[in-house]
């Protein structure tokens, strides 16, 4: 038993160091991904996404496969009319295998504070984003006026979705 405790005392800090290193790697990857958008570097931006990735934007209709998202983004990148997101706060988590990670982040954007969240998968050539969600934040005291603005647009979309 004493030997097992000694082994655990050695292994647990080593696991924490390895996890912290992976979290740093993921943080840098996300920062570089956001910077690629700000710099209108289409290929660099999309090489971070896994081929089967999904990108969910702030509009309720935005549920993009990589190919559709790339087609949508291409004119913005070509015309250098992209977005510039800077992380204000980020939390990264790893599963026990070290092959799957998820995160949430607060971003400084042209829309003010937004929240990004996503899932990454470790692949042969490094971490890849497989799922990303961008959400606008709404201060609790302002929910009611925001809902009034959204209602006519989203009521129509709700009806469309209910008819499927």
Mean pLDDT, rounded, of the chain = 93
Q: Which CATH code for domain 2-162?
A: 3.10.450.50
* 47-86: pLDDT as tens digits: 999 999 999 999 999 999 999 999 999 999 999 999 999 9
Alpha-carbon torsion, ordered 128, 98, 35, 117, to 10 deg: 90
Q: What is the pTM of this model?
A: 0.89
| Token pair for 94 | 């790893």
pLDDT band at 11 (very low <50, low <70, confident <90, very high): very low
* Structural domain boundaries in the chain: 2-162
- Evaluate the CA torsion angle 26, 27, 29, 34 in order and state its sign: positive
Count of CB atoms situated within 10 Å of the CB of 74: 12
Chain mean position to CA 102: 8
DSSP 98: S
Say what the pLDDT of residue 16 is.
84
């Amino acid at each position: 038993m004493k030997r097992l405790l000694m082994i655990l005392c050695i292994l647990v800090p080593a696991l924490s160091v390895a996890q912290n290193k992976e979290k740093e790697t993921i943080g840098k990857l996300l920062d570089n991904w956001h910077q690629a958008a700000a710099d209108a570097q289409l290929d660099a931006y999309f090489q971070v996404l896994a081929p089967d990735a999904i990108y969910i934007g702030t509009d309720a209709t935005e549920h993009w496969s990589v190919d559709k998202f790339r087609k949508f983004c291409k004119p913005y990148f070509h015309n250098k009319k992209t977005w510039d997101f800077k992380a204000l706060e980020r939390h990264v988590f790893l599963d026990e295998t070290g092959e799957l990670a998820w995160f949430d982040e607060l971003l400084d954007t042209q829309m003010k504070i937004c929240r990004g969240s996503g899932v990454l998968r470790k692949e042969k050539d490094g971490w890849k984003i497989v799922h990303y969600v961008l959400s606008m934040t709404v201060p609790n005291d302002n929910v009611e006026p925001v809902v009034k603005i959204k209602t006519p647009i989203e009521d129509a979309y709700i009806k469309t979705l209910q008819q499927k």
